[in-house]
């Protein structure tokens, strides 16, 4: 029988629940480039940084609407007093906060849709990719970003009870300590089954 030797508050505040902080950034892989504005915000006020995914740019919309949307979303985040950090992979390097030129390049070139499983391949080959919800969550947690805003998340596909076609987004949502602000599950998916799947460690507000 498992016995807790600490009270719940002391356990939560102990090293059993470690969260990455700015001090850990020096230990990151040299393949991670953090935009100077994002870097400064993480050092002084990490709660002010909002992570944004990039598959909406690379795979979600046609050009130039994808680029216009990406720039508009970043501007909305700034208007609300926060710092946007669009996460993507450019030439085998993880970008936490992208420049306008990098966004324009991602919007017009062939890239790889990059989830957790694809990161090693894309980085190792020196390729470029748009990070999915799962991929973005992984990187956001790596650098200490605690809030992530996106449109629709992935989920259980229709017929998923037979095909087992379930988005990696759901797995990552349940194990990554990042708050996700989303419009909900994509309408083409099996929404009831997706919501049921999310009982695996994820509160829905």
Asked whether the predicted pLDDT for residue 13 surpasses 70, the reply is no
Task: Determine whether 204 is an active site residue.
Answer: no
Rounded Cα distance, 122 and 92, in Å? 6
Asked whether residue 5 carries a pLDDT value surpassing 60, the answer given is no
Structural tokens at position 61: 């919309």
CATH classification (class only), 19-154+168-187: alpha beta
- Tokens representing residue 170 in the block: 């759901």
Where exactly are the structural domains of the chain? 19-154+168-187
Encode pLDDT of 131-163 as tens digits. Answer: 999 999 999 999 999 999 998 888 888 887 778
The pTM score is 0.83
Q: What are the E-state strand segments in the chain? A: 32-34, 49-52, 83-90, 93-96, 112-114, 129-131, 147-149, 152-153, 179-181, 184-185
With b for 16 or more beta-carbon neighbours within 10 A and e for fewer, the 13-46 pattern comes to eeeeeeebebeebeebeeeebbbeebbebbeeeb
pLDDT at position 19, please?
54
Residue 40 annotated as catalytic? no
51 vs 173: which has the higher pLDDT: 51
Exactly one of 53, 74, 95, 172 is catalytic; name it: 53
pLDDT of residue 191: 87
* Among 113, 186, 200, 204, the one annotated catalytic: 186
DSSP SS3 for 199:
coil
Cα 80 to Cα 49, 57, 76, 198, distances in angstroms = 11, 22, 6, 29
Whether pLDDT at 93 is above 60:
yes
pLDDT at 66: 96
């Amino acid at each position: 029988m498992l016995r807790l030797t600490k009270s719940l508050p002391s356990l939560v505040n102990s090293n059993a629940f470690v969260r990455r902080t700015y001090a850990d950034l020096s230990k990151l892989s040299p393949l991670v480039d953090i935009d100077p504005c994002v870097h400064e915000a993480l050092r002084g006020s990490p709660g002010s940084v909002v992570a944004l995914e990039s598959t909406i740019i690379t795979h979600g919309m046609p050009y130039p609407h994808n680029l216009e949307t990406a720039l508009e979303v970043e501007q909305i985040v700034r208007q609300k007093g926060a710092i946007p950090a669009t996460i993507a992979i450019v030439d085998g390097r993880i970008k936490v906060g992208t420049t306008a030129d990098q966004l324009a390049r991602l919007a017009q070139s062939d890239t790889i849709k990059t989830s957790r499983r694809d990161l090693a391949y894309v980085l190792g080959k020196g390729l470029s990719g748009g990070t999915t919800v799962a991929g973005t969550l992984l990187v956001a947690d790596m650098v200490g970003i605690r809030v992530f805003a996106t449109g629709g998340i992935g989920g259980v596909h229709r017929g998923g009870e037979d095909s087992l076609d379930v988005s990696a987004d759901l797995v990552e949502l349940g194990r990554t300590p990042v708050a996700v602000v989303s419009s909900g599950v994509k309408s083409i998916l099996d929404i009831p089954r997706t919501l049921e799947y999310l009982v695996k460690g994820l509160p829905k507000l």
